[in-house]
Amino acid sequence: ETGVTQSPTHLIKTRGQQVTLRCSSQSGHNTVSWYQQALGQGPQFIFQYYREEENGRGNFPPRFSGLQFPNYSSELNVNALELDDSALYLCASSLFSKGDWNTGELFFGEGSRLTVL
């Protein structure tokens, strides 16, 4: 079984630009969650996608948007980049059980490190 893979691993952008980060979920998983992790901080929840629909959103502005595809892979898009967007972006896949409302064990990818200059 393949693990969670993210691309790109590192990227540098300038303020105002747009970025797309990609995530391939683990085989058999139906849910992808995206997190932003600043240096020395815990992962901050951005949003979760379950079966191609947004299933939860944290306190992030609308310029953070996402997609989940039929194969359960996902994209995170950030428009109008700001300096504070510099962080490690983590994707985690899981097998969400709506009947139990339990996200389940999160399998994290290695992350995409974004630097905004």
> Which two three-digit tokens encode residue 117?
């200059």
Judge whether 107 and 94 are in contact, CB under 8 Å.
Answer: yes
Per CB under 8 A, does 108 bind another protein? yes
Per CB under 8 A, does 5 bind another protein? no
Per CB under 8 A, does 66 bind another protein? no
Per CB under 8 A, does 43 bind another protein? yes
C-alpha 79: how far from its chain's center? 15
Which residues, including other chains, have CB under 8 Å from residue 20's CB and lie 6 or more apart?
75, 76, 77
Stretch that binds another protein, among 12-20, 21-29, 73-81, 97-105 (CB under 8 A): 97-105
Per CB under 8 A, does 102 bind another protein? yes
**Integer Cα distance of 73 and 68 in angstroms:** 6
Between 81 and 96, whose beta carbon lies closer to another protein?
Answer: 96
Q: Which residues of this chain interact with another protein, rule CB under 8 A?
A: 33, 35, 41-45, 48, 55-58, 90, 101-111
